[in-house]
Chain A
Amino acid sequence: MIKKWRPFWSYDVEKTERWLSSSAVDGKKLIDVKLFSRIFVFEETPTEQMEYQVIFDKSQNNLATGLVSSGWEDSVVKGNWKFVNNRTDPIHAYPSREGILKRNRVHLLFLTGLSFLYIFQLIPFIIAMLTILFSPDDANVVASPYWSLTFLYFIQVIGVIIFTIYMSRNLLAFERKFFKTSVSENEKKAAGETFTKWRFAWMYAPDLLENWLSKMAAEGNHLVSVSKVWPAFTFEKGTPKLISYVQDFQWKTDPEYVEIHKSADWKLRFASKSWLFKYSIWEKEYELGDMKPRFTYDSTEKKAQVRKVVIASSILVSYLLGILFMALWMQFKVNPPFNQYFLHQILIVLLIISSLSPIFILTRTFLYALRMRKQYVG
């Protein structure tokens, strides 16, 4: 029996899989994995060519029959983890990477939060240390045996921060590799003349945007791209076409979201960058006389979608208003209204003007909800 310690094996599963496969070639077959102490146990066997894969599956279901029929079999099953191997060549089906991606994303989120806290701790510490180093006269260092503890603590802090950076790079590469086609948008290169139109707060009234884009396409102006920073839409002049546009909103998406829509011939023209609050714009051409293609034809689903958009916009508006009121309140608290300098007065006027944007969003959202209500009820 051979035991190997791999403390971070689950954060680079591809490396772990390669290691397991090459161990099998070396005549070491995996027989157990101790999840808590992160020890891999092997037994010596004749050398064997096989590919290993690691699966993270919370359902703890048996291996899908499609995987079994293409040669995969359980090697070690522990908790939500499955270590499977395959002796056939070539292999026609592979386990999904989604479980691992999701699990590691959660871990990364936790680590990122911790790292931010640590950075705030680390900065004053570094400043203090630099002060001691460069101007020892200003510093008053008290000798203490606990200094080693302080240093150990901060070594741990730096370790966590470095690990967070390593992990986020790893995870991004992993996602690109396995879900590449599903992450990026369909590039469209404009061959002819292009022009840009602005459309403020377009996200909050999907129906208006969809109709506008379809109307533009019917006039021969085809959407090329949407800016990620500004509400600017670039069009290309061409022949009039019938195009259905869908502006979709999801709280969060996964690779399958893009994959399914793309396989149904939808082209992704825009997707917001954030991993929460995903807005996207899709297009699909259709022929005269055909049904206008949509994401859903089910009225219950349509209503649920409207509700989702309204809730998301409301959250955004409350967030903006919250920040604004806090800023105003702090202004008045520090300087009473009739006792202010000119600069402060300008600042307050600016703050009040900026409160117009949440009100604008709110109105657009409310009108959208009203239009949809009429459409579905009437």
Chain B
Amino acid sequence: MNRLTIKKIIETYIPMTETAFYILLSLSEPRHGYGIIKHVEEITEGRLILGSGTIYGTLKKLQRDHIVTVYADELRKTIYEISDLGKDLMNHEIERLKELHTNALKYEEEFK
């Protein structure tokens, strides 16, 4: 994957939607589609419930842009895995979120 593609992907995906971010975040290990829904529900303590249509649409887009790759388990069920490009993208987004977080903490008093 060349540098130009990475730049283009970063431009289109960052800032990420909450849905895309949590889907990619749950791909810290390879999972089935339904596994992603359950995991996101778990780590957001039930706040974010993703519909299967949302998961399908987002994963399709991520797959098309080579951010996510797929393979199959013994039962021929699809497993999703984040690609190297996807990891790059997540690192960029996490950097941005860290900055947001630091600034939020720094200035939150002013709004109280």
Contacts and interface: CB of A to CB of B under 8 A. Distances in A.
B72 A96 contact: yes
B34 A260 contact: yes
Nearest to B55: A260
B29 to A, nearest CB: 9
A297 B52 contact: no
A5 interface: no
Contact of A297 (B32, B51, B60, B85): B51
Contacts of B13: none
Contact of B30 (A59, A66, A301): A66
- Identify the interface centre among A179, A255, A260: most chain B CB within 10 Å of its CB: A260
B56 A64 contact: no
A369 B49 CA distance: 26
A291 B49 contact: yes
A90 B51 CA distance: 35
Nearest to B37: A264
Contacts of B85: 61
Nearest to A298: B54
A287 B40 CA distance: 22
A92 B74 CA distance: 6
B76 A93 contact: no
A95 B72 contact: yes
A369 B27 CA distance: 37
Nearest to A301: B54
Which size class do A's interface residues fall under? 35 or more
A62 B73 contact: no
Which size class do B's interface residues fall under? 20 to 34
B24 interface: no
Interface in A241-284: 246, 248, 255-257, 259-261, 263-264, 266
B71 A93 contact: yes
Contacts of B37: 264
B66 interface: yes
Contacts of A264: 33-34, 37, 51-52, 55
- Identify the interface centre among A67, A92, A298: most chain B CB within 10 Å of its CB: A298
A263 B33 contact: yes
Of all A-B residue pairs in the complex, the 10 with the closest CB atoms, nearest first, are A295-B53, A59-B66, A263-B34, A264-B52, A260-B33, A296-B51, A296-B53, A66-B30, A96-B70, A64-B81
Interface of B: 1, 19, 30, 32-34, 37, 49-57, 59-60, 66, 69-74, 76-79, 81, 83-85
Interface of A: 57, 59, 61-62, 64-67, 90-98, 178-179, 181, 246, 248, 255-257, 259-261, 263-264, 266, 291, 293-298, 301, 305
13 contacts: A57-B69, A59-B66, A61-B66, A93-B74, A94-B74, A96-B71, A259-B77, A261-B52, A261-B56, A264-B34, A264-B55, A293-B51, A296-B51
